Structure 1
């Protein structure tokens, strides 16, 4: 059984009951929209581009215990390529989003 909540947060990747997932991809491929659909099950057509990073904290209960999952929604603009490496620190997973 799984229950959920959403908030913004600072990194809590050192907590053993938490996961840090970074979301990477080129500009305008739908990284923020993918998270929006998953986290709040909605879609708003207009949205400003992500600047640097937006961090969202999703809390789920797994086997009756809370699990905090941080999603780091990164900017896809080429000018931010050099800062992506700092986001990898203590990350447990990466989601790559692309257009075909």
Structure 2
């Protein structure tokens, strides 16, 4: 796979990805790092819902990732049904320096599974791994939770651009492989609509080569 884009190409697929988790775990910065390779130290809390897009190339197909970010505060939780509708991937984000944000993952996962497609691809993200000396969530705890719930797992740092691109690529490539596999099998129910998602979980695809910093836990 390559991330080179010819912007004259038509869009073959649109994949909606949602970011969920408590407030102040770094969801917006995580998204900004992937979508625009930016990090804003003066970032304000997200109000309501925002989304960004990024266009990628996978096996000569043009894929637009539409990534939705919402406020983690309780008073914005009423957006759920519209927020999750049509999502084919999700990032469950916690702050590895805040144990409570990890303990809330079970609740967020329950909400996600209550509103989203049952086959949605989900990755657990332990963000802010650049703050290793302040770690409050052992990697083993997150790995155990991810394994029990059948989630992918990665620790990231939006600040240092560690594993951010790899995390998104893993989720997007997994979605793409499932959809393309269905198409090749002659069992594509999308009727020409990009981004329709049907399928079952398969193994993690090989990750793309890029210049992103590696570290933390993968």
TM-score range, shorter chain: 0.7 to 0.9
Q: CA deviation at 1:22?
A: 0.5
Q: CA deviation at 1:16?
A: 6.2
Residue from 95, 99, 117 that aligns with 1:99: 95
Correspondence for 2:28? 32
In structure 2, the gaps of 5 or more residues are 6-10, 97-218
Correspondence for 1:2? 3
Higher RCO (C-alpha 8 Å, min separation 6): 1
In structure 1, the gaps of 5 or more residues are 5-14
**Any idea what SS the aligned residue of 2:94 has?**
coil
Q: CA deviation at 1:23?
A: 0.4
Name the CA distance, whole Å, in 2 between partners of 1:52 and 1:81.
Answer: 9
Give 4+ residue runs of structure 1 displaced > 2 Å after superposition. Answer: none
Over aligned residues, Cα RMSD in angstroms?
1.7
Aligned residue pair count = 90
Name the CA distance, whole Å, in 2 between partners of 1:74 and 1:52.
Answer: 6
The structure in which a higher percent of residues are helix is: 2
The structure in which a higher percent of residues are strand is: 1
TM-score under structure 1 normalisation? 0.80
Matches within 5 A, 1:14-93: 17-93=13-89
